[in-house]
Chain A
Amino acid sequence: MRDQLVGIILVVPMLLTIISITLFPLIFSYYMSVHNMTVLNFWNPIFVGVDNFVKALSSSDFWASVRFSVLYMLVTASAELLLGLFLSLFLERTMKGKRLVVSLILIPMAIAPALFGIMIKLMLNEFIGLIPYLLRQIGIRMHFFSDFPIVFTVLVVTDMIQWTPFVFIILYAALHSLPREPIEAAYIDGASGWQVIRYVKIPMLWKIIALVTVFRVMDALRAFDTIYVLTGGGPGISTTTVSINIFKVALIRGDFGLAAASTVIFFYLSMVVLSFGLRTLRRGGVL
Chain B
Amino acid sequence: MTNYGIIRRLYFGIVILIIFLLFALPIGFVVWTSFRSYGSILAGQFTTFHYSLENYINVLFNPGYAFTKGLWNSLIASSLSTLLAIAITIPAAYAVARLNTGGGSLISFVFSMRLLPPIIFAVPLFVLLNVTGLIDNVVGLIVIYTTFNIPLSFLVLRSFVLDIPSEIEESAMTDGCDRFGVLRHITLPLLRPGLVAAGILCFIFTWSEYLFALLFTIKNAVTINVVASQFVTQQAIRYGEIASAVTIGMIPNIIFLLLIQRYLVRGLTMGALRG
Contact = CB atoms under 8 A, between A and B. Distances in A.
A278 B44 contact: no
A25 B273 contact: no
Given A112-B210, A224-B210, A11 B120 contact: no
Nearest to A2: B179
A29 interface: yes
Interface in B38-76: 41-42, 44, 46
Interface residues of A, number: 90
A interface majority secondary structure = helix
Contact of B27 (A11, A32, A107, A117): A107
Nearest to B34: A122
Contact of B22 (A161, A215, A287): A161
B128 A10 contact: no
Contacts, number: 274
A37 to B, nearest CB: 8
Contact of B91 (A13, A112, A212): A13
A56 interface: no
B interface majority secondary structure = helix
Interface string B151-174: 000100000000000000000000
B258 to A, nearest CB: 6
Given A14-B154, A28-B128, A224-B210, A270 B117 contact: yes
A139 interface: no
B257 A247 contact: no
Nearest to A137: B46
A3 B214 CA distance: 44
B88 A17 contact: yes
Nearest to A260: B123
B26 A169 contact: no
B150 interface: yes
B117 to A, nearest CB: 4
A221 B114 CA distance: 13
B268 A169 contact: yes
10 contacts: A7-B100, A10-B183, A29-B120, A105-B19, A107-B27, A133-B44, A161-B22, A174-B273, A215-B115, A277-B115
